Amino acid sequence: MARDYYEILGIARTASADEIRRAHRKLAKEFHPDKNKSPEAPKRFSELQEAYDALSDPEKRSQYDQFGHLGSNANPFGGREGRSQTGGGQAGGPWQNVKPEDLEEMMGGLGGIGDFFRGGGTQRGRSGRSAAQAGQNMEIEVTVDFMTAAVGGTRNVSIRDSQGKNSAIDVRIPAGIASGGSMRVAGKGHDGTGGGPPGDLMLVIRVAPHSWFYRDGMDVSIDVPITIVEAALGTSIDVPLLKGTVKLKIPAGTPSGKKLRVTGKGIAPANKTAGDFFAVIQIVAPTDLQPADADALKVLGEKLPNPRENRWV
């Protein structure tokens, strides 16, 4: 009497399609005649294929659940009506529902079965050598200084490949790249196999902070300290830019926190509009006044309007 298909695969009658597929894949790897030299292996493998063919097809499974082997139109492990018992390429054979990736995994790469069924045309040769395969990409994190990220430059990057070999390459950092941005360097990843091309090098950029510049997108700012006299009377001062300097006019009465814009002098990425440069005014109060100077400020302070008057009413 024919064995129950669910029993052959070791699954419950309520098993899902994924559970059927996993059970078949596991047992097919175990009993494949090319890997299992037991005299019982060919028979067990044939049973597995017959059971999987019936249960992996929803319509055939429904017929089997209702009518058993008669419903699935199958003789016990001896093939089905109107087809070859080996299923060797004929429509509806025992291999019809087996996916290429299942074959490749369960046969452990025997003869490049998976590649053959996918139509890749890159089976392993009789010599046993693997077909050409591209190398994997390599990802590394690189820290660059603020100015290099802002205006562009070259960074020497050290690489260690999968064999532990060290090398170094010069990488062009584009102007305006932000912290967390990425770059691809073609052909500098892990080596391919079987004559395949190397993978790419993926760089994740981290930008170190600057001593006085800071950025918001393509705009760059700098804090500019001035005295209370300069703020009150106005002045002109030299302020450093990303490249060169600018003579900046401070209007009389400029408050602390005021931003003075220098148009187009921020970060200038290639083929994009440049950002702006901002001087952020910071009024610095004196802390070591001479008595006479302090008295003079008191007199001045009595003449100045109270800036808080009616402010919170």
For the record, the structure tokens of 21 come out as 């597929």
What is the three-class DSSP state of 225? Answer: strand
Least confident range of 31-40, 43-52, 94-103, 148-157: 94-103
**Residue 310 has what pLDDT?**
87
What is the rounded average pLDDT of the residues 195-215? 93
**Residue 79 has what pLDDT?**
41
| Cα distance between residue 271 and residue 284, in whole Å | 40
Least confident range of 124-133, 142-151, 168-177: 124-133
**Residue 128 has what pLDDT?**
53
For the record, the structure tokens of 159 come out as 């690489």
Q: What is the pTM of this model?
A: 0.55
CATH class of 5-98: mainly alpha
| Cα distance between residue 69 and residue 81, in whole Å | 12
Residue 202, pLDDT above cutoff 50: yes
What is the overall mean pLDDT for the chain?
82
For the chain, the domains span 5-98, 138-207, 213-303
Q: In degrees rounded to 5, what are phi and psi of residue 260?
A: -105, 120
For the record, the structure tokens of 92 come out as 């509806």
| Equal CATH topology for 138-207 and 213-303 | yes
- Looking at domain 138-207, its CATH superfamily turns out to be Urease metallochaperone UreE, N-terminal domain (2.60.260.20)
**Residue 1 has what pLDDT?**
60
| Cα distance between residue 303 and residue 313, in whole Å | 23
DSSP string of 181-209, one letter each residue: -EEEETT-SS--BTTPPP--EEEEEEEPP
What is the rounded average pLDDT of the residues 146-166? 88
pLDDT digits (tens, 9 = 90+) for 125-140: 445 556 889 988 999 9
| Cα distance between residue 228 and residue 282, in whole Å | 10
Higher local confidence (pLDDT), 91 or 218: 218
Residue 102, pLDDT above cutoff 70: no
For the beta sheet containing 201-207, the strands, ordered from the edge strand earlier in sequence to the opposite edge, are 138-144, 201-207, 182-185
pLDDT digits (tens, 9 = 90+) for 29-82: 888 877 788 888 888 888 888 888 889 888 888 888 887 776 555 444 444 443
Residue 262, pLDDT above cutoff 90: yes
| Cα distance between residue 230 and residue 228, in whole Å | 5
Q: In degrees rounded to 5, what are phi and psi of residue 262?
A: -120, 105
Confidence of residue 21 (pLDDT cuts 50, 70, 90): confident
What is the rounded average pLDDT of the residues 200-204? 93
Percentage of the chain surpassing pLDDT 90?
Answer: 46
Question: b or e along 226-252 (b: 16 or more beta carbons within 10 Å of the residue's beta carbon)?
Answer: beeebbeeebeeebeebeeeeebebee
What is the rounded average pLDDT of the residues 149-176? 89
DSSP string of 68-80, one letter each residue: HHHHTTB-TTS-B
How far lies 25's CA from each of 12, 28, 295, in Å?
A: 16, 5, 93
Give bridge partners of residue 140 from the DSSP assignment.
203
CATH pick for 213-303 out of 2.40.50.100, 2.60.120.260, 2.60.260.20, 3.30.390.30: 2.60.260.20
What is the rounded average pLDDT of the residues 218-240? 96
